Structure 1
Amino acid sequence: MSDTGDTDLLARGGRTSFGGFLLRLGARMPFLFIAGRMYGAEALGLFAYATMVIELMAQLATLGLKRGLAAELAEGALPEPQIVADALLLAWIAAIAGALLLVAVPGIVFPNGGGGGFDRFLPLMAVAIVTSDVAIAAMAFRHKLGVAVVARSVVEPWTLAIVALLMAFTPLKRDGLLIAYAASMVAAMVASLRPLIREFGWPSGWSPHWRRLFELARANLPLAGADAAEWGSRRLDIFILGRFASAEVVGIYFIAQQIATLPGKLKSSFDSILAPVVTRTLAAGDTDGVAAHIRQVGFWIAAAQLGAVLALGFTGEASLALFGSTFATGTAVLALLLLVEFLGAQASISETALIYLRRKSNLLLSVAGLLLQTGISLWLVPIYGGVGAAAGLAIAALFLALTKSALLRRVLDTPVIGWRWSLVVAALPAVIAGLLVQHLHGLVQLIVGIPFVLGVFAAVIWTIGFRGPDRLLFVRGKGLG
């Protein structure tokens, strides 16, 4: 496929997944409002910590298959349905082992008590999580990105919001958020598994290839470690905060984190399609093409994120107060976490190529970033609480952005950063717009301010920043599944 064809494919994939991001945003906000207003900061803090531990274990259990499965399918050593079946079995074995450990030691999931009754068996939801992850990765290999949109952006968040609302009016309210979480994971699993079976069919004549499973697990360890390190770096802050602060503080931090990660989800709009395109381009030996894809997606993401970061940053206090007056104290945390999302995107984009070119070096950098974050957080969290946790995360994100981009540039021997000065030029009038909207109050600031700041930034960046292939992102074409 030509470079123009690949760019068009990336653009269509990004548009498809971005539509999913908007749908997910539309459902995530009602859940946060329900959780903040009807359950309170303490219950939300317990929910945030428990689900963080379970999802970290599920991330480890996926064994890097979310990105590594594309390479396995591209190799074609076995019929595709059998490769997918092996991947699912491997993920299930790891997820069940991890879940049983957490069930046996509930204090890991519930450090402030609890873990009785239904709560204790919540870690079993890891099986549903890894099933969805592997199914979505397999469908992405065939460019069927609509499955991820439906499962992750419609079924999962809306199930979470609706069940949480219903549970708030029952005697089960104490466990309402966790019950809603379990229901949403099962629903997402069903929504991703059914289209997988339709697309690939049943693996006829399949039986577990135990030797190959072992080799696959071993080969994917560096990738699994890098995935876990990157994912863990975004959850380590809550883990450390949960050990030093009350559940209420964790709940406030969680709401700030959920708002701040909205720009980060813009980056993930390209994850599903970028990995297959990079894999195919590398297989063709076109390293310049890989660098071009990284730069192009990097610019698209930087442009989208910077506008979102500015809009959310200048309306941060009003955004947090929407979920309850208690949460408005997290403004400084929100500002730092927005910075983290912007810095972290470039490291993540570079990693998309590094996992195929320098797996071990990429893993070492990820671990180094995790250790740096741990050290800084352990120093600052006991003193500054949530602000200290966010600061540790921001410093680690800057370290990873610089080092991973530098490593990829050295490997490909060509620039890979998508940063352009037009982003700065577009940001200046958006900053002025942001300062103006801060004079508005409450809901008016959100309803008027966010679109105004975004509109100013978008108008300028479109006029002076988007040229040629850049505009393919906004040219409608045939969707991707």
Structure 2
Amino acid sequence: MSETTPPVQRASSPTPDVTGSDDIAALAKGGRTNTLGFVIRALGGIPFLFLGYRLYGVEDMGRFASAFVIVEIVALICALGEKRGLAQRLTDGADEEGTSAVNLVFDGMLASMLVSAAICSVLLLFPEVMFPNGTNSDLDIWMIAAIPAFALTEILLAAQAYRYDIATTVRARAIVEPWTRSIAAVAFFYIAAISEAGLAMAFLASIYAALATALWSFLRTYGLPKGWRPRPRYLARMTSRSLPLVGADVIERGTRLLDVFLLGLFTSSAAVGIYFFAQQIASLPQKLKTSFEPILSPVITKNLKTGNYGAIAAQVRQVGFWIIALQGGIALALGIPGEAVMGLGGPAIVGGTGALALLLAAEVVASMAVVSESVLVYIARKRNLAISIGVIALQGALTIGLIKACEALGLDEGFKAAGAALALVLALATSSLVKAMVLKTLLKAPVSNWRWALVHAAAPAVVVGFAFTLLPEWIELVVGIPAILATYGFVVWKRGFDEDDKVLFRRNVTPKGDGETA
């Protein structure tokens, strides 16, 4: 398949709205809903993290983490890129007479199930791929059953996002999944028969609970298919066309999981456990990216169809700034009191504070790559995939090299974790630079999300944060984190946000003709 290139705007078409004001309003509305979901998800996910380490221990969490990363990566492969590709299939299918949206979604679900069955069979034959440091219990192998459920949930949520229904994503991913996992992890710990497998069983329960939530909303929105039947040739074409998207999704997520996998291969389960705790804390700002991703795909595909590339560039700049501004504040709030934050998981993992700081920095530098890729996957799939492959190869080489260097120097597990985090920072910074340059060339418009107001906001926040590190840890956490966020937020609002940016926080601004609720 040849790489897609932006078509030329037809002269007879109406002058495009290069500002994309209606689309920005739609993005802001979806982002507001999902950002609230991010907060709820954090509140549900953090108890799992803290209680998991306190109840099950660092090594058990390390073995769980090694299996978790394989499940998530394989599930993204099985989703066949539908997280973003479904929006384009539904947009294109709308022009085909007799094409049913629900039938197109079921095509994707069938293809996903077939791929899931094949890959799960391989993992059952070679379980050591998932458990390089062994298992906590014989029941851990059931984690493989989460793969098809995870993949189907991605497809169903993408279908809902196409209808601008972001609330379902919030319910499934931000409420049902994390809270089920947190509650189940505690409950299973006290059930003697499955106590050792509590982490795996809690994970499995949370994934299927999220699937049930997504399926319920999907059936209410789309209903059951009518006249649908498997179309082998169409499924083969769809799967082939999805490969660049699959590669982009897997590599984008893989950059956040490769380090855990390599630590599992080259170090101990304790090192993996330390790193996984830091990574999960650092993933909080990273999840803000997903606040806009579900609504960004349908907006971009519709503008691509009309050739409105000025609007796409404006959306990339706007959303990119929203993401980096929000991520920057959270990174400072969690990074400055890093020792106190890591200490919540127990004294054994405080040595991962350096890794936490680097991982938080990595999420900030990655923001430009994430937003650029949301467009490149449609207009330069193969080029984007080639860049992503190069980036993850760079990360892998740097991670192994830095781990080996720490071993040669006789450094402890905390330094090995920091080495893996540093490799991620360098790789993601390279990705952001290269992908932004490629996108700028294709759209013939600036796409950078950087503004100097971010530095102006960070400076006083750093001063306030370090002042709180001189106080007892509980004050540092309970008062210091909100103080850092408030200082940063006040300055970035005054110095960085213009009127277009502030639409993100105005609930009464909606795109024209949008009568749907989020």
TM-score, normalisation: structure 1: 0.98
Distance 1:198 1:209 in 2: 25
How far is 1:441 from its partner?
1.9
Aligned-residue RMSD, C-alpha: 1.2
Per-residue CA deviations over 1:342-391 (Å, capped at 9, x if unaligned) read 11111010000001110000000000001101111111113332112111
Aligned match of 2:70: 53
- 5+ residue gaps in structure 1? none
Aligned match of 1:110: 131
Alignment of 1:350-361 (within 5 A): 350-361=372-383
Per-residue CA deviations over 1:420-474 (Å, capped at 9, x if unaligned) read 1111111111111122111122121011111001100111111121111111001
Question: Is 1:138–2:151 an aligned residue pair?
Answer: no
Alignment of 1:32-431 (within 5 A): 32-76=49-93, 77=96, 78-114=99-135, 117-171=138-192, 172-384=194-406, 385-431=416-462
How far is 1:116 from its partner?
6.5
Alignment of 1:442-461 (within 5 A): 442-461=473-492
Provide runs of 4+ in structure 1 moved above 4 Å. none
Instruction: Kindly indicate whether the alpha-carbon contact (under 8 Å) linking 2:116 and 2:148 is maintained by their aligned counterparts in 1.
Output: yes
How far is 1:158 from its partner?
0.6
Q: Give secondary structure in 1 for the equivalent of 2:428.
A: helix
How far is 1:257 from its partner?
0.4
- 1:471 corresponds to which of 462, 477, 502: 502
Question: Is 1:15–2:36 an aligned residue pair?
Answer: no
Distance 1:121 1:143 in 2: 34
Q: Give secondary structure in 2 for the equivalent of 1:366.
A: helix
Aligned match of 2:5: none
How far is 1:31 from its partner?
0.7
Distance 1:115 1:98 in 2: 23
Aligned match of 2:9: none
Total equivalences in the alignment: 481
Question: Is 1:6–2:23 an aligned residue pair?
Answer: yes
Q: Which amino acid is 1:378 matched to? A: I
Distance 1:256 1:425 in 2: 27
Distance 2:476 2:338 in 1: 10
Q: Percent identity?
A: 40
Instruction: Kindly indicate whether the alpha-carbon contact (under 8 Å) linking 1:109 and 1:115 is maintained by their aligned counterparts in 2.
Output: no
Aligned match of 2:410: none
- 5+ residue gaps in structure 2? 1-15, 407-415, 511-515
Distance 1:62 1:280 in 2: 22
How far is 1:36 from its partner?
1.1
- 2:466 corresponds to which of 435, 444, 451: 435
Q: Which amino acid is 1:55 matched to? A: E
Relative to its length, the structure with more helix (as a share) is: 1
Distance 1:291 1:95 in 2: 36
TM-score, normalisation: structure 2: 0.91
Instruction: Kindly indicate whether the alpha-carbon contact (under 8 Å) linking 1:32 and 1:255 is maintained by their aligned counterparts in 2.
Output: yes
Per-residue CA deviations over 1:254-274 (Å, capped at 9, x if unaligned) read 010011111111111000011
